[in-house]
Structure 1
Amino acid sequence: MSEPESSDGQQPESITEPVAEPEPVAEPEPVAEPEPVAEPKMETDGNSHLFAVRTTGGQEKIVMRLLEARIKMGKINIQSVVLLSDLKGYVVVEAQNVSAMFDAIQGIRHVRGQLRGELTYNEIDKYLIKKSTVSELAVENTVEIIGGPFKGMKATITRVDQEKEEATVILLDATYQLPVTVDANYLKLVPA
């Protein structure tokens, strides 16, 4: 294709404008890192105390879960919550002081109050550390079987194996002497 000619038969001159040098691009400013959100400061001077919180019977797990949720949200200043299966109607709370414990249980449903004073570690130690029942068993003791196929039956111990934590017993409820080897954790001493 040919370029258009002007009326006098000459081709038009191309008009060129001088190209300006590009301006230097300024270096971008470094982006400031967002500051981390500060977590609530908890007092941790190592002087925690144990308190027993009284709950509605059977609602211990609910109270414990509500306290755990408040701990995770950072709303309360307590270190731990312990639910002891043998201590019905109570939840043990570890806190720096009484006021921190009262702030923690304030407004929680099923909380009925708090025992006066503090608990000592020795008072709850027996609930926390499971002692082997084999050490309590002896030959000729009368026991009740609390687990397994013979649950609810009474028996007399004939032999105790400390290493395997087992005991051989003779069932008292059977019509003939039937020796059975049972895990020691399934045995409970019957008071004489």
Structure 2
Amino acid sequence: MERPRFSNYYAVRVTGGQEINVALMIEERIKTNNIKEVYSIIVPPNVKGYVILEATGPHVVKLVSQGIRHVRGFAQGLVQKDDIIKFISKTTIAPAYKVGDMVEVTSGPFRGMQAQVVRIDSAKNEVVLNILESSFPLQVTVPIDQVKPVKK
């Protein structure tokens, strides 16, 4: 029977820009020494200078990161799980379009052209547009972040 896993999140300070390298070196040390007390290594995007380890205690974090190049120390205290979720969850703050809305393409080969929304694929974050400035009916699929609503 496996015991229930108890873990906390600990932040390791590293040289800015070296987060991925440090994470890979820590991973290698964990595999080499067969350490089972570290459950995950998180390199949060948009957060420079920190690698977050999910481990059973600070002694384990010190064990796996001590002596590794570019490790600058340990942040005091624990990192809250809510903060981790904010780092790693993907949130899209794209304007909500409806079928029939008038938009302008902001990049790509159709940049600057007016179009009408035909279909929205929210799973892929894409919209199918009917280009209005074309001399023949032309439907194109573009990422949703490459269109903006036309001011009326």
**Percent identical:** 32
Residue 104, structure 1, aligned to residue 64, structure 2 = yes
CA RMSD for the aligned pairs?
Answer: 3.7
Give the aligned partner of residue 57 of structure 1.
16
Give the aligned partner of residue 23 of structure 1.
none
Which runs of 5 or more residues in structure 2 are unaligned? 135-139
* Residue identity in the other structure for 2:94: E
Count the aligned residue pairs: 133
Distance 1:143 1:115, change over 3 A: farther
d(CA) in 1 for partners of 2:95 and 2:115?
8
Match of 1:182 among 116, 139, 142: 142
* Residue identity in the other structure for 1:96: T
Give the aligned partner of residue 137 of structure 2.
none
> Which secondary structure state, in structure 2, belongs to the residue aligned with residue 136 of structure 1?
coil
* Residue identity in the other structure for 1:73: T
* Residue identity in the other structure for 1:118: L
Indicate conservation of the 8 Å contact 1:158/1:167, yes or no.
Answer: no
Match of 2:30 among 71, 91, 105: 71
Displacement of 1:162: 4.8
Match of 1:80 among 26, 40, 46: 40
d(CA) in 2 for partners of 1:67 and 1:182?
40
d(CA) in 1 for partners of 2:113 and 2:14?
38
Displacement of 1:166: 2.2
Whichever structure has more strand as a proportion of its residues is 2
Stretch deviating more after TM superposition (119-128 or 73-82): 73-82
* Residue identity in the other structure for 1:55: V
Residue 46, structure 1, aligned to residue 5, structure 2 = yes
Deviations 1:130-181 (A, max 9, x none): 23x3x63235999976xxx37xx89999747254632479xxxxxxx89x75
- Once the two structures are superposed, the pairs formed by residues 133-144 of structure 1 within 5 Å of their partners are 133=92, 136-139=94-97
Displacement of 1:112: 1.2
> Which secondary structure state, in structure 2, belongs to the residue aligned with residue 137 of structure 1?
coil
Distance 1:162 1:84, change over 3 A: same
Give the aligned partner of residue 121 of structure 1.
81
Indicate conservation of the 8 Å contact 1:138/1:157, yes or no.
Answer: no
Which runs of 5 or more residues in structure 1 are unaligned? 1-43, 170-176
TM-score, length-scaled by structure 2: 0.64
